[in-house]
Homo-oligomer: A and B are copies of this chain.
Amino acid sequence: MIKALESVAEAEFLPPEFIRGEVAAGRVVIPGNRNRPSVRALGVGRALRTKINVNLGNSPLAGHTGTELAKLRCAVNAGADTVMDLSTGSDADEIRRRILDASPVPVGTVPIYQAVGMVDEIADLTPEHLIQVIEHQARQGVDFMTIHAGLLRAQLPAAKRRLLGIVSRGGSILAQWMSIHGRENPLFERFDRVLDICREHEVTISLGDGMRPGCLADASDEAQFAELDVLGRLVSRCHEAGVQVMVEGPGHIPLHQIEMNMKRAESICHGAPFYILGPVVADCAPGYDHISSAIGAALGAYHGAALLCCVTRTEHIGLPGCADIHEGAMAFRLAAHAADVALGRPGARDRDDAVSAARRDFDWERQFELSLDPELSRRMREEALRQSAPAPDGGTGFCTMCGPKYCAMRISNETLHEDASTRAVNP
């Protein structure tokens, strides 16, 4: 742990003692299963650089080991700080093992998916079986696990009044099990067992938001906040048990409710890192949910979220492929960065200033090298030049948007700076 603390401190430009204090207070987690010592040390918390998670995993209808390992490579190349394997196909156990072998970044799972895969009907699940699956995955080396322990029977009437009910897979499974058996959430009732397993294998718990709103109409409603209150109490139990914990959040939230949602979660969950899925800020944009959620995620990160779960453009439509994952990860790195700049995180804006200086100096290669996606930006410039009329100086001193005569950058440089040394970064 000391080595991990030091790595995190170095990566965040912060003193190790500070990181230690944040970890001790539960405001930073460093996910890493003791059975997977190779995992990259990564800090997740409000005081640190905003992180992004990318979801992998097949479904019973699409994807296999090969596709999921390829998606892992795409995700890591695109800058994913963590990945989750959400596989639900028949080969899910093998895919998880292979992803754990291959992933340099922390890997999360939702164990209830495996448990459901092993029975014919949700009704056939047993609490003991659920616990065994959690233990199995902990032994396999999973670094963090989504545990939907906060969705209780008492919340179901509120969910019934919703436009969209329960849109979390784990949440809907548990709700159905509770309804059929007339019993309480088995993960809530056996939470001490979960804590024992997670403490033993050093698994970070990610408290699932089974009641996250699935549409704007259901945002910030009774069901969502009733579950959040339970999550707050479970956070305390994790802290008391010495188990690292983060809390999952919405979902679908209109723009004007994002700040309130982040602050409420921070306060109720004692500052545990808040891990948000989106949120998307509109329901009517299937095919553009990577953008909708990047808007929500940037605001969420600015107001309190520590980890942003990438949403791809295939959300609400189908399983994402590599290209969708790459694009979604870029949108979320951008959202995370925008929030980090706005929060004044150490060093965050340096990169923007360097890109801007390269723009001023028409140093295209340096601009692209420092950009979020060097390969894409280079390719786009090459394409633009290919479609352009021959340019007087080979095209270095302007772009095809304006051409040389109308290039504001060139005219401004000429007008304002005969002596380039007068340029300075505005404080």
Contact = CB atoms under 8 A, between A and B. Distances in A.
A300 to B, nearest CB: 11
A420 to B, nearest CB: 11
Nearest to A327: B288
A381 B62 CA distance: 13
Contacts of A349: 216-217, 254
Given A88-B406, A166-B415, A282 B341 contact: yes
A351 B217 CA distance: 11
Contact of A215 (B215, B282, B353): B353
Contacts of A334: 282, 285, 288, 291-292, 295
A377 interface: yes
A189 to B, nearest CB: 19
Contacts of A359: 164, 214-215, 283, 316
A319 interface: yes
A63 to B, nearest CB: 9
Contact of A389 (B61, B163, B352, B422): B61
A71 to B, nearest CB: 13
A2 interface: no
Contacts of A4: none
Interface residues of A, number: 118
B415 A179 contact: yes
B176 A411 contact: yes
Interface in A340-393: 341-343, 349, 351-353, 355-357, 359-360, 367-368, 370-373, 376-377, 380-381, 383-385, 387-389, 391
Interface string A282-317: 111111101110110011001000000000011111
Contacts of A330: 285, 288
Interface string A402-423: 1111111101111111000011
A345 to B, nearest CB: 12
8 contacts: A175-B411, A176-B414, A214-B409, A216-B352, A216-B353, A256-B342, A285-B372, A294-B295
Given A159-B416, A165-B417, A285-B372, 5 more contacts: A161-B424, A162-B426, A166-B416, A172-B408, A216-B349
